[in-house]
A and B are shown apart, each in its own frame.
Chain A
């Protein structure tokens, strides 16, 4: 997986559930769940919104790792 994320950790620190984070970011609970599971890479806009809500930088939440094969 090339894009790792720590959204679940930041959300837990804020003490809110996926529905509440989704409401703050203007997306559905399913989208937050998909991002946390690494099944969906969000758009730049949504990544920036999530970082703003968590009061961190995008790089704190998302980390790009080169695949070992490449």
Chain B
């Protein structure tokens, strides 16, 4: 038998899975051991350092929020302006040229949305540094109140940005329906898509589900190690665990529901 004719070597899935799990367990043990070895005597120093970082964040909270909000608004407006120009090109061009503009539209839209979401997350993280009764009653309530107002302003801008983004896309693609202010917007949008567009959405949704399932165990280990060494509390662990349960539960519920619906038809 020549090498080309050889059947592919059969793998034992249970053995492979056992080895993968064992290697992850060994990696976790090595990581724990190394962390203990490297940071064991310095845990107090690290905790002091983290407290210093937190207090620095509390001091720079207001200017940092202002800078991030200004940058996000600039990027958002630039993205909307560019999307409008691209939408005009989409309406004016045909076939292959239109394909290129639609790709540009996808890229510009993704950049704008990502910049907006990242800015929101950064603002939440910075605001969280001072978001405690202990800090507010410590005489810094004016700074905190001003920061909350800046954050609220940005929160409203983000809501309007997302609405304008959807309207701009709908102006270039009138077939895409859905009222962005409606609670049923996602369903309305999906209903207005044709079969190829739906397939793209389903594929992207499955990739997102796979990616979340790959990241959640890593985040869970990270939060557990944080609690083990730095006493960060179990809240972070509970939140990650709840997200895991909700994501898996929603996926399985949807699968069972769809199969059931097909049987009931």
Chain A residues close to B by CB (< 8 Å): 17-19, 26-31, 33-35, 40, 42-43, 46
Contact = CB atoms under 8 A, between A and B. Distances in A.
A33 B99 contact: yes
B98 interface: yes
Contact of A28 (B94, B95, B173): B173
Contacts of A30: 99, 102, 196-197
A27 B95 contact: no
Nearest to B196: A31
20 contacts: A17-B94, A17-B95, A18-B94, A18-B98, A19-B98, A27-B195, A28-B175, A28-B193, A28-B197, A29-B98, A30-B102, A30-B197, A31-B194, A31-B196, A33-B96, A33-B98, A40-B196, A40-B199, A42-B196, A43-B195
User: Chain B: interface secondary structure?
Assistant: helix
Contacts of A43: 195
B196 A34 contact: yes
A67 to B, nearest CB: 16
Contact of A27 (B98, B99, B173, B196): B196
B74 to A, nearest CB: 31
A42 B196 CA distance: 8
Interface of B: 94-96, 98-99, 102, 173, 175, 193-197, 199
User: Chain A: interface secondary structure?
Assistant: helix
Contacts of B98: 18-19, 29, 33
A19 B173 CA distance: 11
A28 B194 contact: yes
A34 B175 CA distance: 17
A53 B194 CA distance: 18
Nearest to B199: A40
B171 to A, nearest CB: 15
B94, B173, B194, B199 pick with most chain A CB within 10 angstroms: B194
Nearest to A8: B95
A33 B194 CA distance: 13
Contacts of A17: 94-95
B194 A26 contact: yes
A19 B194 CA distance: 14
Contacts of B193: 28
Nearest to A17: B94
B94 A27 contact: no
B175 to A, nearest CB: 6
B89 to A, nearest CB: 14
Contacts of A26: 194
Nearest to A27: B194
Nearest to B91: A19
Contacts of A19: 94, 98
Contacts of B96: 33
A10 to B, nearest CB: 14
B152 to A, nearest CB: 38
A33 B95 contact: yes
A38 to B, nearest CB: 12
Contacts of B175: 28
A28 B123 CA distance: 39
Contacts of B197: 28, 30-31
